[in-house]
């Protein structure tokens, strides 16, 4: 649906972006001089001119042309036929096309449809059919004489073996010190030197020589270490005598074991066999946060999850402040200590609690732990107004009375407690029919192909005495269909509004929607 402008539109020297000219399948019978359309049948832009092709009559012509033939001018060697319809441009001289180096041209067709096909010729006169490449010096060359690759130059390489490897390759590793360079061996074959250390743990059975309890272990650094095994039935003692280099020592302990000082397990697992009972007379240090459901919980973790599980501290008199919650003692009462989560229920109304109006049934919760004898602030607490008072009005959200409220069904709707405002009409708006024949506050005047409607807004039927046209906004719509149109609207600043249309319009054709701001 098009927007109907009933007066000249001035873009004030601004651009009109992404505009599409009116598409029509045929030229209209008549038009207005300067009007433009796009003829989709002729696939061309057309304009309506006062003198079509010098005939003295108005009509439609292609934009940029004054006749049915394009304005083309012949030049040297180029001829143009002046035919109605398509314009033919042809060469009227001789055009010679020659082969080039390694390029063969083949002529095809004839007359106006001559075609040339270019073929690349790789034969340079020697009929050499081997695979070659065209080099920069415009000659065909064969790849040869490429030297062995070095750390600074590209070249050829030789494989270590032509046998295909059956083992699947390991994925690329992003771990530090896992990427190794490629080198040539003495036979110019590519090899990779991979550093490797045997980290396998092997358990050996050792036989102690007769008449001794010493076992000698040879360290990886070349130093030896003597280890003495001793103990009674069901117990084994292990002592290291001298030397270094022992990486690992495994000992199986039977029956009761007594450790004189510290026992450290590095990345080890301490397993309690079912049926036994652990007893610790000192402190046991465990990770702060348990992971598995069977993990032990540290004191820090217990304190964390238990914080806020408060205890009911009794009733609170908000009139006399009993017990004391503001830190100001009176009548022998002092500030007591409270934990996070402790709470009170108001039993007597009053404002002794930091000047907050409280009533029976309201709650006070401790948010930050309070020590005895201190002076807490309101930030240490959270209070909840739990009763059902009538809601009030205030400029300050902290002091407004919160409670129950009612709503006028003429203006509000409710859905399970959700209150919504119904659509409301604007009491400061009017719909005025532009009809100077029937309305006393509307006049109509026509002159020079222009119609002007004047609306007196100070009329009692509109906005009354004292209304200013400068404070009115106007929208013009068609009376039938209510389509928005655009006319020239002028407020004289006092009590009337002028609405001008081009060309002439009749009474009651349009309606003005006026809002008084």
pLDDT tens by residue, 311-339: 899 999 999 999 999 998 888 889 999 99
Burial (0-12, 13-18, 19+ Cβ within 10 Å), 139: exposed
Least confident of 125-134, 384-393, 506-515: 125-134
* SS3 assignment, position 224: strand
- Look up residue 96 and give its two tokens: 């010679």
* Tokens, residue 369: 């732990």
Q: Which residue has the higher pLDDT, 376 or 491?
A: 376
DSSP state of 203: -
Residue 218 pLDDT grade (very low, low, confident, very high; cuts 50, 70, 90): low
Run of H or E residues at 476: strand 472-478
CA separation, residue 182 to residues 153, 189, 418, 469 (Å): 14, 10, 75, 90
- With 0-12 / 13-18 / 19 or more C-beta atoms within 10 angstroms meaning exposed / middle / buried, residue 411 is exposed
Q: How many residues does the chain have?
A: 517
Q: What is the CA radius of gyration of the chain?
A: 51
Query: Which pLDDT tens digit goes with each residue over 495-505?
Result: 899 999 988 89
pLDDT over 50 at 70, yes or no: no
User: What would you measure as the largest C-alpha separation in the chain, in angstroms?
Assistant: 140
Is 340's pLDDT higher than 70?
A: yes
| pLDDT at residue number 229 | 60
Which pLDDT belongs to residue 480?
92
- Between these two residues, 280 and 151, which has the higher pLDDT value? 151
Phi, psi angle pair for 443, to nearest 5°: -120, 150
pLDDT of amino acid 323? 94
Number of DSSP helices (H) and strands (E) in the chain, helices first = 1, 32
> Is there a contact between 352 and 383 (Cβ–Cβ < 8 Å)?
no
Determine the Cα angle at 407 with ends 401 and 408, to 5°: 145
Question: What is the arithmetic mean of pLDDT over 458-464?
Answer: 89
For the chain, the helix, strand and coil percentages under 3-state DSSP, each to the nearest 5:
5, 30, 65
pLDDT of residue 239: 58
- Residue 60 and residue 41 in contact, taking contact as beta carbons nearer than 8 Å: no
pLDDT surpassing 60 at residue 1: no
Q: What is the pLDDT of residue 244?
A: 45
315 vs 414, residue with greater confidence: 315
pLDDT at 176: 81
Using alpha carbons, select from 312, 341, 338 the residue that is nearest to residue 325: 338
Could you read off the pLDDT of 168-217 as tens digits, one per residue?
Answer: 888 888 888 778 889 989 888 889 888 777 676 666 666 666 666 666 66
Q: Which of 19-33, 92-106, 205-219 has the least mean pLDDT?
A: 205-219
> Tens of pLDDT along 358-399?
988 899 999 999 999 999 999 999 999 876 677 777 787 777
Q: Is 356 exposed, middle or buried (CB count within 10 Å of its CB: 0-12, 13-18, 19+)?
A: middle
Give the model's pLDDT for residue 128: 61
CA angle 350, 356, 357 (to 5 degrees): 45
* More reliable by pLDDT, 363 or 230: 363
pLDDT category at 66 given cuts 50, 70, 90 is: very low
pLDDT interval class at 80 (50, 70, 90): low
Mean pLDDT of the chain: 80
pLDDT score, position 157: 85
Distance between CA atoms of residues 209 and 202, nearest Å: 22
- β-strand 88-91 against 103-108: which pairing, if any? unpaired
Q: What percent of the chain lies above the pLDDT cut of 90?
A: 27
- Show the CA angle centred on residue 304, arms to residues 302 and 306, nearest 5°: 65
By CB atoms closer than 10 A (0-12, 13-18, 19+), residue 68 is exposed
Q: Where are the beta strands (DSSP E) in 69-169?
A: 78-81, 88-91, 103-108, 115-120, 133-134, 140-141
| Mean pLDDT to the nearest integer, 45-60 | 89
> What average pLDDT does this structure show over 399-427?
78
pLDDT for 69: 42
Tokens (6 digits) for 476? 């013009």
* Tokens linked to 274: 């079912």
Average pLDDT over residues 278-296: 79
CATH number (3.30.2170, 2.60.120, 2.102.10, 2.60.40) of 429-516 reads 2.60.40
pTM value > 0.75: no
Question: Are the beta carbons of 97 and 105 closer than 8 angstroms?
Answer: yes
What residues does CATH 2.60.40 cover in the chain?
Answer: 429-516
């Amino acid at each position: 649906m098009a927007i109907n402008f009933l007066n000249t539109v001035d873009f004030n020297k601004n651009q009109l972006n992404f505009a599409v000219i009116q598409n029509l399948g045929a030229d209209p019978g008549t038009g207005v001089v300067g009007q433009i359309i796009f003829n989709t049948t002729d696939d061309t832009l057309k304009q309506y001119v006062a003198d079509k092709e010098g005939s003295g009559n108005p009509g439609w012509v292609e934009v940029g042309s004054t006749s049915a033939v394009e304005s083309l001018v012949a030049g040297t060697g180029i001829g143009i036929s002046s035919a109605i319809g398509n314009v033919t441009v042809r060469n009227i001289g001789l055009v010679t096309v020659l082969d080039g180096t390694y390029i063969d041209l083949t002529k095809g067709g004839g007359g106006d449809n001559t075609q040339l096909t270019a073929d690349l010729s790789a034969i340079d006169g020697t009929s050499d059919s081997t695979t070659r490449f065209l080099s920069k010096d415009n000659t065909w060359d064969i790849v040869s004489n490429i030297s062995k690759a070095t750390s600074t130059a590209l070249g050829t390489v030789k494989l270590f073996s032509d046998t295909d490897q059956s083992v699947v390759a390991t994925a690329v590793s992003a771990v530090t010190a896992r990427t190794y360079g490629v080198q040539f061996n003495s036979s110019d074959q590519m090899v990779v030197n991979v550093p490797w250390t045997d980290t396998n743990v092997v358990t050996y059975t050792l036989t102690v020589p007769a008449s001794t309890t010493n076992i000698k272990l040879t360290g990886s650094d070349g130093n030896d270490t003597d280890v003495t095994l001793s103990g009674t039935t069901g117990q084994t003692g292990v002592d290291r005598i001298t030397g270094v280099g022992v990486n690992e020592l495994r000992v199986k302990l039977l029956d009761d074991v007594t450790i004189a000082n510290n026992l450290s397990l590095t990345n080890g697992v301490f397993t309690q066999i079912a049926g036994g009972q652990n007893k610790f007379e000192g402190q046991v240090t465990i990770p702060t946060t348990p992971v598995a459901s069977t993990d032990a919980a540290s004191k820090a973790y217990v304190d964390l999850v238990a914080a806020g599980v408060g205890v009911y501290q009794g009733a609170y008199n908000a009139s006399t402040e009993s017990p004391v919650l503001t830190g100001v003692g009176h009548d022998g009462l002092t500030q007591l200590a409270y934990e996070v989560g402790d709470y009170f229920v108001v039993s007597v109304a009053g404002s002794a609690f930091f000047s907050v109006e409280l009533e029976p049934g309201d709650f006070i919760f401790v948010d930050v732990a309070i020590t005895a004898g201190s002076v807490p602030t309101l930030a240490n607490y959270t209070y909840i107004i739990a009763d059902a008072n009538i809601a009030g009005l205030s400029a300050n959200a902290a002091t407004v009375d919160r409670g129950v409220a009612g709503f006028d069904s003429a203006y509000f709707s409710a859905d399970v407690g959700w209150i919504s405002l119904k659509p409301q009409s604007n009491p400061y708006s009017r719909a005025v029919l532009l009809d100077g024949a029937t309305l006393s506050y509307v006049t109509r005047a026509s002159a020079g192909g222009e119609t002007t409607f004047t609306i007196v807004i100070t009329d009692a039927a509109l906005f009354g005495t004292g209304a200013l046209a400068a404070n009115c906004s106007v929208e013009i719509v068609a009376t039938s269909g209510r389509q928005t149109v655009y006319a020239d609207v002028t407020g004289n600043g006092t009590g009337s509004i002028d609405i001008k249309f081009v060309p002439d319009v009749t009474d009651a054709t349009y309606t003005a929607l006026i809002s008084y701001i």
